Every structure is written in C-alpha cells, then in structure tokens.
C-alpha cells in the first residue's frame, strides 16, 4: 500500500536551493531549474520498529542503500538544510542506527571547512565525496521513549547533566498482568531523545557510553558548550631583518676587520620589500548545547596605506600586501610614544626610506662600526671613526678621517692633528696616525665650524669654510669666509673674505684676499702658478723642422725620379706635381686604395709609375713615421702656445689691504701640467723653494713680484 505524505517542514526550508531529491535508494534526476523535487511515494512501513523503514522523504544529498545511509557533501548546499533534515527525522520519531555522531557534528557545526577539505581529499583519491552517517533509520518505540529522562541544564546553560541508572519497561506477562522488565538504554536512542530535549550540540559520547555500560546510578555531564576561539588581528610584519648585529663581519681573507660589524645599519635596494601585512584570521564559532551559534570577537584590521612614508609604496605580491622601497636607501621607522598598560612604549607610525643614513649618536666604534663607502650618511653626533661614503653629512664635529666620492657637509668643526699635514713629514718620521684628513674625490666640502690641524682636499670641487688654522687646503676653488692662520692653501681660485696670517698660498688662476697681515715671524707668501712652455715649444719647433726636412728630401727624390721617367709631367707645376706624388705614395702604401680612387687619370698614372716608385728604394714606413711625427709636433706646438696665452690672461692677484711684509712670487712651471696634477712631493718642493729667498727650483723658475707693505695691491701679468 502506498502512503501519501504531506511535505515535511524541512522540505519547505530548502525550496530556494537547487537540490535533487531521492527516495532513499539512490539519486534521481532533478527538473531543470526546479527548486524542490516532487514528493515521492514511499513504501508501507513495517510494523517492527527495529527494521529499516523507507517512508521518509530524503533529499538528494542523502542516499540509503544496503551499505547504510550516506551524505553526499557536494550536493549539500548549506548546514541549514541538514539541520532541517535532522529535525524532520527526529520529529517523525525516528533515529539513526549506529549513528556517526562525530561526522554529523562536523558537517553541521563546521560546514564550510569540512565540506571543502573532505571533497578535495576524496577527489584526490578518486572517490565519491560521501560520508556514512548511520547504518539505517529506525522507528523510536514509544514504549522506550519514556526510558529517557529530561536532562538537567547547568546554570548559565553551558552544560547539561543526566542521571543514569537501571532502566525498566512494562510488559504484559503470560498471566495477563503488567510486569517491569529490566532493559538497557541505547546510545542511538539517547541521541534522538536528547535532540528532542533541545540538546543539539556537544554530547560527550564516550562518557555516555561508559555510563550506559556500567548500568548503575550516576550523574554525569553529557553535553558541554563550545566557546568560540579567539581570532588573530591583522599585523604588520617585517619582511627583512631590521636588527642591529654588532658581531664581526666574516671576511673571505685570512684577516677580519674588527671594526666591520655584521649589520650596524641596513641599506636596501629599489623595490625591496620592507613590511608585509598578515591578514586577520577569524576565530572559530562557538556553539551552545542547544546548537545556537556563538560569534567570536571580530579581529582588528587596518589599512597598510596608513604606514606609507617617504620613499615607500604599496605593492601586492602573490596576494600579500607589501610596503616596498621606491629607491635604494636606508629604512627609517617613524615612531610615537604611547602609554600601554601604564608603561610608555614606542609604536610605529610610518616607514620611510631615506637616501642617506643618519646615525643619531654619531659614527663611532660603539654605534656604527665601519660604514659602506657606496652610500650616503648623516651623523647626528660626532664622527670619531674613519669612514668612506658617497655623500657624508655631519651635524656635529669630525675627529677622524673622512673620504667621500661626492660631497662632505659639516655643521660642526673639524679637529685633526699635526700628522694630517702631508707636507710636515711627521707622519713618516714618528709613525703616528693622521686624524682630520677630509677628502672629496669629485664633490665639494663645506664646513660651518672651525677647521684646526686638518687636511681638506677637493681637487674637482670647492672648499667653503669659515675659520681655519694650522691646516692644509687643496682644491679647485677655496672660499674662506673668516680668518686663515698658518695654513698652506693650494687651489686655482682662492678667496679670503677676512684676514690671512702666516699662510703659504699657491694659486693657478686667482688670489683675492681682504687683508694680509704678519704676526711675529709669520708672514704671508703668495705664489701665482703658470706654465712657462717657451723652452718646450722652441725644442718642438726645432724637432718639427728636422722632421719636415726629412720628408721634403724623400719626396723630392721620388719627384725627380718620376720627372726623369715621364717627360710629359713637366707641364705640371711643382705644387701640383708634389700633390700628385703624395697621392701616389699614399696609394702605394695601401694598394686597396687604388680601387677606391675614382680619378681614372690618376689610376692610369699609378700603373705606369708604380715600377719606378718601387725601384726608387724609398723606405715607405720611415716616410710615414716622419709624416705622423710632423702632424703630432705641429698640434702640440699649437696647443701649448694657446695654453700659454689663455692662462696668462686668467692670472691675477688682489689684496685689498696689506699690513706688514708680504711676499709675492710668480711660479713658472716648466712642464705642460696643471697645478692640481702635481704630486704632493712636487708641491712640497715648490713650497719649500717659495719659503727660501733666492733658492732655485728644479721644476720651475721663480720670479719676485714687488709688493708694498701697506695698502692695496693688484697684479696681472704684462
């Protein structure tokens, strides 16, 4: 007999889903776009409640066969449908035989993760993604329903307790009387009974089975609430190590530099990742024993854009947000001090990338160790350790040797020692280490403080200082805005805006001094450097004449031989004839040129004259060398003559106020070299000759320039 069953409530709940229904024996085809399958006819249930039944309406995700009852997870749309299905089964007074309570609980209360993980694993194994939830459906015998008491809900509803003890059912005996027969409660029935008592989550199955097995009076906790797990806030995590490592850096050689630390500061390249955002992670949901959801606290989130500083930009790489450098430089973290748990702590506000590194406490052995010579640096404190860099900026004093490929800027003073002076000889004599040698290879040096016992060099740039004493300056241009005392200054252009005392000055172009003053035995000596190439030019002219004579003699012999062989060439004048001979000689040196020559008469003449030129026995290589040397000497004579004329016009000395003895000399260097190309040894030789009256110089001639002892002085070469 076929029953007609009304639509179960759980079916109404899934009318909005594309679900295929079955009759419990297998999946049937769904209607296209149908939201709910038709209600299928069911078989007449058997009277014995312990046998399998099939008068239940099953959705497509539930399959029943000889192996048991399965849930097809791919067909299950959401947990609400499964919950409605369970309510329907238990509400119809059925229960699951050999129920897989753990499996059903995972699907019901951790649906998304369970479905995703299980389906992926089954597909990898090539299996159908189905979970067995029971062996069969069984009808709950009404006689046994009364065996199951009402659980005791603990205060606050976080757990439920139950009294277990011997169980009895009433039966009619042979005599027709009702008698009590001891029986045992069943775990599957217990689950269904508790579901009917609104205990939907957290049953302690093992404890319950143990109590059933012992069959004695006992009160135990049968269900517990699950608290939500705490999620993780989004965090900004370093993508590189910002830690300072003051261990000694390993060296590939046999010796390690004890001042080269492993990492006293960090330098990064363009597009280097600095920080990355670790996204927030939501905690797992909690569940009451009644199956109600307990939401976890929403983790905190932030925008990584709020941390972007100068020289930094946001990029997404592999789904992760990064802060990366716009250019190569030095990362710097901008922090703010906040109070947290009654303690002051620093909190990062922004990350910047500076093109130069700043050492707040100075560059020294303790704080920085040696630094990389290819980078820009700024020292907030004193520099007391020898360093090399690209551009170096010192906010305080320098008491060490500093070498820069470009610029050096000092807000404080430079303090050296006598051994920094390369002209004193004390370094070699006493073996002491120099201090205060400040050298720029291709940039400028600027000092706002005092310079004392130091050596400053910027041969391709300008040195700008205020006051200087007992020091050496070598630069293309020097500007002293204060006083200069007891110094050696060598530069093309020298400007002193105040007073100069006891200095030795050599200029390659211009000397401009506000006041020259003597103090005791300290007198100023001014030398104006120029190149006297007269002797060299004369020697080259004589050599040129000699070479030209040799060339003319060789060409005239060839010319005479050609004229003697071809009388018809006498119609050419001597100039044309010599020009023709030179062309022929040039062709003879390189026979390939005959194919390049487009003048047919020349080619024909060459063919006739070639045997004569060969018979002449001319050393063509020697003639070529003479010709090359003639061109070289001619060029050098022209260049040196032009240099002498132009440099003469640039020379000038102007001292606005002379007070005391001042020595003026013209230094005529006998080679074609600029002032700053001279070696320290050559400069030292010239300085020593300037200081000794009437002394001779091996590389130059010295001429006195008369100067007054007071007043204005101006000089230019005649």
Across residues 581-603, what is the average pLDDT?
61
DSSP state of 568: G
DSSP state of 34: -
Rg of the chain in Å (alpha carbons): 52
- Kindly report each contact of residues 555-560 with a partner whose C-beta sits within 8 Å and lies 24 or more positions away, as own/partner: 555/581, 555/582, 555/585, 555/623, 557/616, 557/618, 558/585, 558/613, 558/616, 558/618
Average pLDDT, the chain: 80
The predicted structure's pLDDT at residue 20: 37
Tokens of 709: 């002892």
- Spatial CA neighbour of 716 closest among 639, 651, 634, 665: 651
CA dist., res. 248 & res. 241, Å (int): 17
Q: Which stretch, 85-89, 389-393, 415-419, has highest mean pLDDT? A: 85-89
CA dist., res. 313 & res. 322, Å (int): 8
CA dist., res. 86 & res. 101, Å (int): 12
Which residues are CB-contacts of 32 (< 8 A; sequence separation ≥ 6)?
none
Q: Examine the pLDDT at 370 and tell me if it is beyond 60.
A: no
What confidence category does residue 700 fall into, taking pLDDT thresholds of 50, 70 and 90? confident
Element (H, E) at 394: strand 392-394
Residue 530, CA distances (Å) to 459, 509, 673 in order: 17, 8, 9
- Spatial CA neighbour of 325 closest among 274, 400, 389: 274
Across residues 668-696, what is the average pLDDT?
84
Across residues 339-353, what is the average pLDDT?
79
Q: Examine the pLDDT at 81 and tell me if it is beyond 80.
A: yes
- CA 95, 100, 102, 103 torsion-angle sign: negative
CA dist., res. 692 & res. 707, Å (int): 17
What confidence category does residue 6 fall into, taking pLDDT thresholds of 50, 70 and 90? very low
HSE toward the beta carbon, residue 132, CA cutoff 13 A: 9
Q: Examine the pLDDT at 208 and tell me if it is beyond 70.
A: yes
Which residues are CB-contacts of 331 (< 8 A; sequence separation ≥ 6)?
242, 266, 268, 274, 325, 351, 352, 353
Kind of pairing between the strands at 437-440 and 402-404: parallel
**Could you report the per-residue pLDDT of 379-396, keeping only the tens digit for each?**
667 888 777 778 888 888
Torsion angle defined by CA atoms of residues 233, 234, 235 and 237, in that order, rounded to the nearest 10 degrees: 130
List 463's β-bridge partners, or say none.
Answer: 445, 478
- CA 509, 513, 516, 522 torsion-angle sign: negative
Across residues 345-369, what is the average pLDDT?
66
The predicted structure's pLDDT at residue 34: 29
Cβ atoms of 84 and 10 closer than 8 Å: yes
Q: Which stretch, 335-339, 350-354, 356-360, 362-366, has highest mean pLDDT? A: 350-354
The predicted structure's pLDDT at residue 595: 57
Across residues 308-314, what is the average pLDDT?
92
CA dist., res. 566 & res. 649, Å (int): 56
Tokens of 412: 């404080």
Mean pLDDT is lowest, of 272-276, 499-503, 611-615, 711-715, for 611-615
Which residues are CB-contacts of 161 (< 8 A; sequence separation ≥ 6)?
151, 152, 154, 219, 220, 221, 222
Q: Examine the pLDDT at 608 and tell me if it is beyond 80.
A: no
DSSP state of 521: T
Mean pLDDT is lowest, of 8-17, 26-35, 233-242, for 26-35
Cβ atoms of 471 and 487 closer than 8 Å: yes
The predicted structure's pLDDT at residue 588: 59
The predicted structure's pLDDT at residue 39: 28
The predicted structure's pLDDT at residue 192: 95
Scan for tokens 């070598």, then name that residue.
474
What confidence category does residue 21 fall into, taking pLDDT thresholds of 50, 70 and 90? very low
Cβ atoms of 584 and 606 closer than 8 Å: yes
Looking at per-residue confidence, does 331 or 138 come out higher? 138
**Could you report the per-residue pLDDT of 506-523, keeping only the tens digit for each?**
999 999 999 999 887 788
Q: How far is CA 290 from the centre of its chain?
A: 55
Q: What size, in residues, is the chain?
A: 718
The predicted structure's pLDDT at residue 414: 94
Tokens of 36: 């709910």
Element (H, E) at 427: helix 426-430
Q: Please give the angle made by the CA atoms of 695, 697 and 702, to the nearest 5 degrees.
A: 75
Q: How far is CA 627 from the centre of its chain?
A: 59
The predicted structure's pLDDT at residue 384: 81
CA dist., res. 492 & res. 511, Å (int): 8
CA dist., res. 418 & res. 162, Å (int): 97
What confidence category does residue 261 fall into, taking pLDDT thresholds of 50, 70 and 90? very low
Scan for tokens 């400053």, then name that residue.
456
List 488's β-bridge partners, or say none.
Answer: 472, 504
Q: Examine the pLDDT at 717 and tell me if it is beyond 90.
A: no
Which residues are CB-contacts of 530 (< 8 A; sequence separation ≥ 6)?
508, 647, 648, 651, 666, 667, 668, 669, 717
Scan for tokens 């000694």, then name that residue.
248
The predicted structure's pLDDT at residue 250: 45
pTM of the model: 0.53
Burial 346-369 (b: 16+ CB within 10 A, else e): eeeebbbbeeebebeebbbeebbb
- Spatial CA neighbour of 438 closest among 484, 475, 490: 475
Q: How far is CA 50 from the centre of its chain?
A: 73
**Could you report the per-residue pLDDT of 525-540, keeping only the tens digit for each?**
999 988 877 777 788 8
- Residue 93, judged by CB atoms within 10 A of its CB (0-12, 13-18, 19+), counts as middle
**Could you report the per-residue pLDDT of 456-487, keeping only the tens digit for each?**
999 999 999 999 999 999 999 999 999 999 99
CA dist., res. 148 & res. 168, Å (int): 11
Across residues 272-298, what is the average pLDDT?
92
**Could you report the per-residue pLDDT of 214-248, keeping only the tens digit for each?**
888 999 999 999 999 999 999 988 888 765 544 43
DSSP state of 361: T
Looking at per-residue confidence, does 35 or 691 come out higher? 691
Kind of pairing between the strands at 343-354 and 330-340: antiparallel
Q: Examine the pLDDT at 347 and tell me if it is beyond 80.
A: no
Cβ atoms of 57 and 21 closer than 8 Å: yes
Kind of pairing between the strands at 312-317 and 320-325: antiparallel
Q: How far apart are the first and last CA of the chain?
A: 139
Tokens of 368: 């920085």
**Could you report the per-residue pLDDT of 427-440, keeping only the tens digit for each?**
454 456 788 999 99
């Amino acid at each position: 007999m076929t029953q007609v069953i009304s639509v179960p409530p759980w079916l109404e709940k899934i009318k909005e889903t594309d679900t295929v229904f079955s009759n419990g024996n297998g999946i049937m085809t769904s209607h296209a776009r149908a939201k709910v399958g038709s209600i299928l006819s069911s078989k007449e249930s058997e009277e014995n409640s312990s046998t399998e039944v099939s008068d239940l309406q099953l959705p497509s995700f539930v399959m029943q066969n000889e192996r048991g009852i399965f849930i097809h997870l791919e067909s299950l749309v959401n947990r609400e449908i499964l919950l409605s299905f369970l309510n329907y089964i238990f509400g119809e007074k059925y229960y699951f035989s050999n129920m897989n309570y753990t499996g059903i609980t995972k699907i019901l209360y951790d649906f998304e993760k369970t479905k995703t993980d299980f389906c992926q694993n089954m597909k990898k194994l090539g299996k159908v993604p189905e979970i067995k939830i029971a062996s069969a459906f069984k009808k709950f015998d009404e006689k046994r329903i009364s065996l199951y008491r009402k659980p005791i809900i603990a205060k606050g509803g976080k757990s439920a307790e139950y009294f277990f003890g011997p169980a009895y059912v009433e039966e009619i005996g042979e005599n027709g009387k009702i008698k009590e027969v001891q029986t045992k409660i069943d775990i599957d029935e217990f689950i269904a009974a508790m579901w009917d008592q609104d205990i939907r989550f957290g049953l302690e199955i093992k404890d319950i089975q143990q109590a059933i097995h012992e069959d004695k009076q006992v009160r135990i906790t049968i269900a517990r609430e699950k608290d939500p797990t705490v999620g993780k806030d989004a965090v900004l995590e370093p993508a590189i190590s910002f830690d300072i490592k003051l261990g000694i850096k390993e060296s590939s050689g046999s010796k390690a530099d004890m001042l080269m630390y492993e990492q006293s500061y960090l330098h990064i390249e363009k597009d280097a990742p600095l920080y990355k955002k670790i996204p927030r992670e939501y905690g797992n949901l909690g569940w009451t024993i009644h199956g109600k959801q307990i939401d976890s606290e929403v983790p905190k989130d932030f925008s990584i854009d709020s941390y972007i500083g100068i020289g930094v930009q946001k990029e997404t790489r592999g789904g992760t947000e990064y802060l990366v450098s716009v250019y190569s430089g030095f990362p710097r973290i901008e922090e703010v001090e906040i109070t947290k748990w009654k303690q002051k702590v620093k909190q990062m506000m922004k990350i910047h990338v500076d093109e130069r590194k700043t050492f707040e406490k100075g560059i020294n052995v303790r704080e920085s160790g040696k630094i990389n010579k290819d980078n820009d640096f700024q020292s907030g404190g004193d520099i007391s350790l020898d360093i090399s860099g690209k551009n170096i900026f010192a906010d305080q004093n320098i008491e060490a040797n500093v070498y820069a490929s470009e610029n050096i800027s000092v807000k404080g003073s430079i303090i050296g020692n006598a051994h920094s002076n390369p002209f004193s000889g004390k370094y070699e004599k006493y073996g002491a280490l120099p201090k205060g040698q400040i050298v720029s290879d291709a940039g400028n040096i600027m000092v706002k403080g005092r310079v004392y016992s130091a050596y400053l060099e910027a041969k391709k740039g300008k040195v700008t200082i205020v006051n200087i004493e007992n020091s050496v300056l070598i630069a293309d241009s020097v500007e002293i805005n204060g006083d200069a005392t007891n110094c050696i200054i060598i530069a093309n252009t020298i400007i002193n805006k105040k007073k100069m005392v006891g200095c030795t000055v050599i200029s390659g172009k211009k000397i401009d001094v506000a006041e020259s003053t003597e103090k005791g035995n300290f007198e100023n000596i001014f030398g104006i450097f120029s190149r006297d190439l007269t002797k060299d030019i004369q020697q080259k002219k004589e050599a040129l004449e000699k070479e030209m004579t040799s060339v003319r003699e060789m060409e005239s012999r060839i010319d005479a031989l050609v004229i003697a062989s071809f009388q018809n060439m006498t119609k050419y004048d001597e100039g044309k004839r010599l020009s023709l001979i030179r062309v022929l000689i040039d062709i003879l040196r390189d026979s390939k040129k005959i194919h390049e020559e487009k003048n047919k008469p020349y080619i024909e003449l060459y063919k006739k004259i070639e045997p004569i030129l060969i018979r002449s026995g001319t050393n063509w290589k020697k003639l070529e060398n003479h010709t090359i040397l003639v061109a070289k000497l001619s060029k050098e004579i022209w260049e040196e003559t032009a240099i002498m004329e132009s440099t003469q016009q640039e020379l000038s000395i102007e001292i606005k106020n002379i007070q005391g003895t001042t020595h003026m000399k013209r230094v005529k260097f006998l080679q074609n070299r600029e002032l700053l190309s001279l070696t320290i040894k050559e400069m030292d030789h010239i300085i020593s000759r300037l200081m000794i009256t009437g002394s001779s110089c091996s590389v130059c001639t010295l001429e006195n320039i008369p100067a007054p002892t007071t007043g204005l002085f101006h000089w230019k070469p005649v």
